Amino acid sequence: MTQGPATGAADADGPQSTVEPSTVEAYQSVILSAITPLAPARLELAAAEGCVLAEDVTAAVALPSFDNSSMDGYAVRASDVAGAAQQAPVMLRVAAEIAAGDVGAYRLAPGTAIRIMTGARLPAGADAVVPVEWTDGGVAQVAVYQPAKPGNAVRYAGGDAAEGETLLSAGTRLRPMQIAVAASAGRKAVSVRPRPRVAVLSTGDELMEPGTPLVPGRIWDSNSYMIAACVREAGAVAYRHSVVPDDPAGVLPALEEQLSRADLLITTGGVSMGGEHDVVKAALRELGTVTFRKVAMQPGMPQGFGVIGGGGAGGTRGEGGTRGEGGTGPVPIFTLPGNPVSAYVSFQVFVRPAIAALQGADDLSLPAVRATLTGPARSPAGRRSYLRGVLDGSEVTPLSGQQSHQVASLGRANALIVIPERETQLPAGHTVDVLILP
Ligand code: AMP
Ligand code: MG
């Protein structure tokens, strides 16, 4: 790895630093200003699911492209059945039958009906469809018991979208609904930003692989599995690396190994407030391109973000602002704190928007709602708290066990309750912002 010159600004919370913690928003904008969306690629629809559009999708033709029936029934002239009544049905000869997909040129003669199926093209001369339920269902001749107004059960050409209309805008994530729209518009392939490739490493001498016998003094690594899962949930591809020990000489090579295949790197652990065991911080501080700082939040105060690789010191991406296959430009890196809940909250608040920005997506943040606290909530002064909670309708309950290592309560949470910096205590009944967890 090429190392850039030390900037001297790479550590905002050194022992003698008096730097104020960043606000959450200030740190978020530092991150987003360093992220350039990945280059678009043309993918077939099946492969594009979950990716983010890099182009607008417009209707190549009007949707639907022809007038058709919205029900099984009989195509008629409305004037022919205007006098129909239960006691005095109108009798019409059934001249033909049109099924969905039939491309024949049918013409309805006055005083006749044509049997028609849902989605079948309306014959020339017809201006309404009588649903089969309003008739005796006749084959050669039909008794119509109710009048149908002009346009009844007819789907007009362009009634869904006009030709040329923008159906999906660049920046939209292709969920199943949007896949339906693109396919309905006749698109075989779309230009999308591909799923970012994200390498995930956890560091710590105490970490053991789940499934191995536990030795007193050690814990099972949950962060690398959790963050890899968060990455996939955010629409990216995760490469989970095995645990990196607290060996200063091992951290950079482990990261370097990931550079060629990753658009983003995430580490957890090793960024606390100094000390020789904080190996991630120690190793990356040398490069001068990763800044460590405190963010005024809880959990998740110690944060690190910057770029590594690709010629070192730059804060910019490769040519054209994007990394080609095999990656040569600098890669953004997040160094998240090691406590699992801190790592989780940091991911949702900082990494998730960065992954979305790599995709050029417009859904940067978690969805938020306002809800009423069912119990009191506490928060340290001057820091924004993200409390694990259970959101149920318009009420939210803070869970017990809010320390950053308490992963059991994370497993019960479906939301993060946001307590503003200025508050230290909020009573039950107070209205709060709540982030809905994906
Ligand atoms: P650190 O940030 O390395 O000082 O770690 C802070 C706390 O998080 C310590 O209690 C670590 O044992 C714990 N921790 C660090 N990494 C992991 C991990 N991958 N899985 C679970 N806990 C971790
Ligand atoms: Mg550690």
User: Percent of the chain, pLDDT > 70?
Assistant: 91
pLDDT at 19: 76
pLDDT at 11: 52
**Taking the mean position of all CA atoms in its chain, how far away is CA 399?**
26
Ligand 1 pocket, residue 328 CB under 6 Å: no
pLDDT score of 4 more than 70: no
CA of 7 to the centre of ligand 2 (A): 25
pLDDT score of 223 more than 70: yes
pLDDT at 275: 67
Pocket residue to mutate for ligand 1, from 200, 207, 271, 406, most atoms within 8 A of Cβ: 207
Closest CA to 198 of 95, 326, 333, 70: 333
CA of 348 to the centre of ligand 1 (A): 18
Assign 49 to helix, strand or coil. coil
Ligand 1 pocket, residue 95 CB under 6 Å: no
What separation in angstroms does the CA of 172 have from each of 143, 175, 249, 433?
Answer: 50, 9, 43, 25
Structure tokens at 348: 């949702």
Ligand 1 pocket, residue 221 CB under 6 Å: yes
Ligand 1 pocket, residue 270 CB under 6 Å: yes
CA of 27 to the centre of ligand 1 (A): 23
Across the range 68-75, mean pLDDT stands at 98
Across the range 94-111, mean pLDDT stands at 98
pLDDT score of 49 more than 60: yes
pLDDT score of 274 more than 70: no
How many CB atoms sit inside 10 A of residue 118's CB? 15
Radius of gyration of the chain (CA): 31
Ligand 1 pocket, residue 335 CB under 6 Å: no
Ligand 1 pocket, residue 207 CB under 6 Å: yes
pLDDT at 7: 39
pLDDT at 327: 53
pLDDT at 307: 96
CA of 20 to the centre of ligand 2 (A): 24
pLDDT at 317: 38
**Rounded distance between C-alpha atoms, residue 351 and residue 253, angstroms:** 23
Across the range 351-367, mean pLDDT stands at 95
**Rounded distance between C-alpha atoms, residue 296 and residue 274, angstroms:** 18
Ligand 1 pocket, residue 202 CB under 6 Å: yes
Residue whose CA lies nearest to ligand 1 atom number 17: 338
Ligand 1 pocket, residue 135 CB under 6 Å: no
Ligand 1 pocket, residue 340 CB under 6 Å: yes
Closest CA to 2 of 267, 259, 323, 326: 259
The overall average pLDDT reported for the chain is 92
